[in-house]
Amino acid sequence: MKAAFIVAPRKFEIREVPMPTISDDEMLVKIEACGVCSSDMTAYRDTYSEEMKKQMPFPRRAGHEPAGTVVEVGKNVKGFSVGDRITGYFGDECYCEYVACNPANRTARGHGYIIEKIPDGIPFEYALGEPLMSLMSIARTVNPEIGDFVFQIGCGFMGLGVIAGAAHAKLREYIVCDLDEDRLALARELGATITLNPNKVDVVAEVMKITGGRGVDIAIEVVGKPVGIKTAGAVLKNNRGKLILVGWHQAPDTYELFHWIKSPIIYSPQGIGMSTDYQSELQRALWALKKGIYPMDKLVTHRYRLEDINQAFEDNLQMAPGYIKGVVMPFLE
């Protein structure tokens, strides 16, 4: 079968590897789709710290947002059958054609594999369970109260998904900041009430004007860079504001944490980190997907063959025109 390997900075290589064989406790899954995640860009660009590079030498595998079809089932596997369409988290090396997984494994990532069946009528490329359950965890962590001012910086795939899950009519304002006007327009469609472009306005000054100088009750950072944390901190109210860190901060950098003396309550729910019941997050997320709460038809914008994975990652890095979320589909015609 074919599998993708990162063999050098910004270079994938497609290799032929043996087809996985399964034990009695495992099942073989045909990978129909695997999302391109910005958290994989550090491995792709090789911008880890020197210590992390030693722990993760080339060649590297990637791909942790799979959806697929069960094609073989071990005799001890319960609850799954050949032909089931499944999603969730069942591996970190899913840019390939097939993977073997043990649905009863509870050791991977500290929480084990989290797998659910895809609702009828949902295409594989929309049923990306791993990021969807992260979005569910984030929405439940944000949990704004009636009359709150909420500020969010970042309108990529995760940022737009956060708005879809957290914005509601009982908020005073849901203020969103991003550099891309098309993404800001989609943010308004998903529930943002005020959108700000840093290229056009002083974001901090505008937010303080909107809140009467008080600052926001909740600030959500979905950028993954120092500027995101600095801006979110600058607009947060004094004394126990809620700071939600969604951005994936992997590469060494310099951060200004002056505004943290405001004593915010800091949450980092990215990667379902705030969840106490991972399976429930996935179940809730798939229910929300079926209900149309997460409009994946608007968020998944690009589809790629496995052989085009380099282009998929470059489009993510370069923010290709119209790009929000890319999905690698190994059997795409």
Residues 195, 312 within the same domain: no
Check residue 270 and give its pLDDT: 61
- Residue 290 domain flag: no
- The residue from 226, 255, 271 where one domain ends is 271
Residues 143, 217 within the same domain: yes
Residues 263, 143 within the same domain: yes
**pLDDT interval class at 271 (50, 70, 90):** low
CA 231 to CA 234: how far, in whole Å? 5
Residue pair 275/138 in contact by the 8 Å Cβ criterion: no
- Residue 18 domain flag: yes
**pLDDT interval class at 261 (50, 70, 90):** confident
Tell me how many domains the chain contains.
2
CA 255 to CA 251: how far, in whole Å? 12
pTM, two decimal places? 0.94
Residue 223's CATH number: 3.40.50.720
Residues 137, 253 within the same domain: yes
Residues 102, 160 within the same domain: no
pLDDT, tens only, 166-202: 999 999 999 999 999 999 999 999 999 999 999 999 9
- Residue 102 domain flag: yes
Check residue 278 and give its pLDDT: 87
Give the structural domain span for 213: 132-271
Residues 136, 265 within the same domain: yes
Residue 312's CATH number: 3.90.180.10
Residues 88, 60 within the same domain: yes
Altogether, the residues listed in the chain come to a count of 333
DSSP letters spanning 43-95: HHHT-S-HHHHHHSPSSB-----EEEEEEEE-TT--S--TT-EEEEE--S--S
pLDDT value at 109 more than 90: no
**3-state class (DSSP) for residue 175:** strand
- Residue 279 domain flag: no
Check residue 273 and give its pLDDT: 60
Residues 18, 101 within the same domain: yes
Residues 250, 300 within the same domain: no
Residues 152, 251 within the same domain: yes
- Residue 284 domain flag: no
Residue pair 175/148 in contact by the 8 Å Cβ criterion: no
- Residue 256 domain flag: yes
- Residue 149 domain flag: yes
